[in-house]
Amino acid sequence: PRAFEYGIALLNYDEAARHSMAQIKYNNKREYLDFYGTALAARYGRPIRRMQADALVPVPVHATRKKTRGFNQAEILARVIGKKLGIPVIPEMLVRNKKTLPQKDLSAAERLKNLSGAFAAGEIPEGIRSVILVDDIYTTGVTMDEAAKVLWMAGAEEVHFLVLCTGKPDC
């Protein structure tokens, strides 16, 4: 069983999506996130609104990775979606307190070990019951599950997610 309810992905994680995600993360193509966030809000606005989220919470990157990259792609994506759909974005609700290895080359078991204890949350702000985690890629679901567990333990009642790409057809 997962700690989140369910989620929505815009794209299948195929070769074109892999290339696009690499351009965003490693070649500073932040403008792609404007396009993808707008497309996600346009295509799935109605089901996202049915989630009745009080806030969008981007999956954080560790401070050293954010400093190196210069941005958190999940936060930019969340801000685009939030602006389009009128949902507040609260990046401070979830922090990455452990520097982890990049997930892309790890097995499911290695991902679980890698992310164990990687996230922390403060108290959920008053009036926030339901949140939507936002990230770029969903493969095994370990990142979403670990982040959702932390939010549940901090007091969130419902956690959903939005991602750009997934390798899972049933997400």
Read off the pLDDT of residues 9-33 as tens digits, 9 standing for 90 and up.
Answer: 999 999 999 999 999 999 999 999 9
From the list 72, 104, 77, the residue with the least C-alpha distance to 8 is 77
Alpha-carbon Rg for the chain in angstroms: 15
**Quick one: pLDDT band at residue 7, thresholds 50, 70, 90?**
very high
- Cα–Cα dist 104/108, whole Å: 10
Whole-number pLDDT of residue 122? 75
Confidence category of residue 171, pLDDT binned at 50, 70, 90: very low
Contact 163, 9 (CB under 8 A): yes
Per-residue confidence (pLDDT) for residue 104, from 0 to 100: 67
pLDDT over 50 (residue 56) = yes
Residue 58's DSSP bridge partners are 134
63-69's contacts with Cβ under 8 Å and 24+ in sequence apart are 63/96, 64/99, 65/99, 69/25, 69/28
Q: Which residue has the higher pLDDT, 115 or 42?
A: 42
